[in-house]
Amino acid sequence: MGTIDNWLAVGIMSALTVFLRALPLVMHRSVLRSPWMTTINFELPMCVMVILVMHSVIGSRAAAPISAQVVALVAVALTYIRWRNSLVSVGIGLALLAVISRYFSQG
C-alpha cells in the first residue's frame, strides 16, 4: 500500500509541475504584464535564493565546513551582482564549494 501512495504523490507533483510550467503560456498578456506580476517576477528569484541559502547554511549538516559555504555564498552573490545570471552564479558557487570541500577533506 505504501508504494501506491508514493506513486500517487509523484504523479500529483508531476501534474502540478507541468501545470505550473504551462500556465504562463495560456495566461492573457494583460495578466502577465500587470504590476503585481511584474513585481513577483522581479522579487521571486531572490526570495527563492534566500530560502535555499538559509536552508543550506542553517538547516542541514553539509560535508563542507560553514566557512566554505560562506565563501561560496559570497562568490554566488558577487557573480550574480556582476552578471545577473543565476545559472552562472550557481555554477560558480557549486564549483567553488566543491573545490574548497575537496581541499578541506584532504587537509
pLDDT: is 99 or 52 the higher one?
99
The residue-averaged pLDDT of 53-73 equals 74
CA–CA distance, 39 with 41 (Å, rounded to integer): 5
Q: Say which amino acid occupies 44.
A: L
**Interacting residues of 15 by C-beta distance below 8 A, sequence separation 6+:** none
CA–CA distance, 57 with 3 (Å, rounded to integer): 33
> In terms of pTM, does the model score above 0.85?
no
Which three cell numbers, joined as nine digits, stand for 54?
538559509
Q: Does 61 have pLDDT greater than 70?
A: no
Q: What is the pLDDT of residues 1-42, one digit of tens each?
A: 578 889 999 999 999 999 999 998 999 999 889 999 899 888
Mean of pLDDT over the chain: 85
CA–CA distance, 45 with 35 (Å, rounded to integer): 17
Percent of the chain with pLDDT over 90: 35
